[in-house]
Amino acid sequence: MGLLLRAFLAIPKALGSNWLGLVSPIIMTLIGEFIGGWWFGWNAMKENWKKEIGVGIFAVGVFYFVVFLGCIFATTYSDHMHLVAKNNELRVRIMNAQDHEETSLRLVKDDFIGRLSTLRESCAKVEGANGILIKQTADQQNTINNCQT
């Protein structure tokens, strides 16, 4: 419904965009009058001018209808182009958001890998020191046991 309303409101702009748009209803009325004169005859036209005016008004009505259809097509095309531009903008935003997410995840992953490496190194040092302490404790216990015998 909004499309038809916007198309209807675009008719004056379509007719008034240049001088031909402003005088075209008058030209169409005159053409209608000439068609009526040709169709009914000039004498009959003088006698039956009310019918001839009807033909002229019909011609103008047809003209306005054609202009209205043109406005519908122009409005539809304008909406289409606007939606295509919006769609492309949203695609770019989605791609940028995905790139940002991938970069953020990569940074977090690299940070966790670095922390894990540090923890493994610390754990290896503690296990190594623990192993040395266990060996020293065993050696000292053996020394004590040897002294008692």
Q: What is the pLDDT of residues 65-82, one digit of tens each?
A: 888 888 888 888 988 999
What are the pLDDT digits (tens) for 24-68? 777 877 787 788 778 877 777 777 666 667 777 787 788 878 888
Q: What is the pLDDT of residue 89?
A: 94
Q: What is the pLDDT of residue 127?
A: 76
Q: What is the pTM of this model?
A: 0.47
Q: What is the pLDDT of residue 86?
A: 95
Q: What is the pLDDT of residue 138?
A: 78
SS (H, E, C) the chain: CHHHHHHHHCHHHHHCCCHHHHHHHHHHHHHHHHHHHHHHCHHHHHHCHHHHHHHHHHHHHHHHHHHHHHHHHHHHHHHHHHHHHHHHHHHHHHHHHHHHHHHHHHHHHHHHHHHHHHHHHHHHHHHHHHHHHHHHHHHHHHHHHHHHC
As a whole-number percent, the residues of the chain with pLDDT over 70 amount to 88
CB 35 within 8 A of CB 92: no
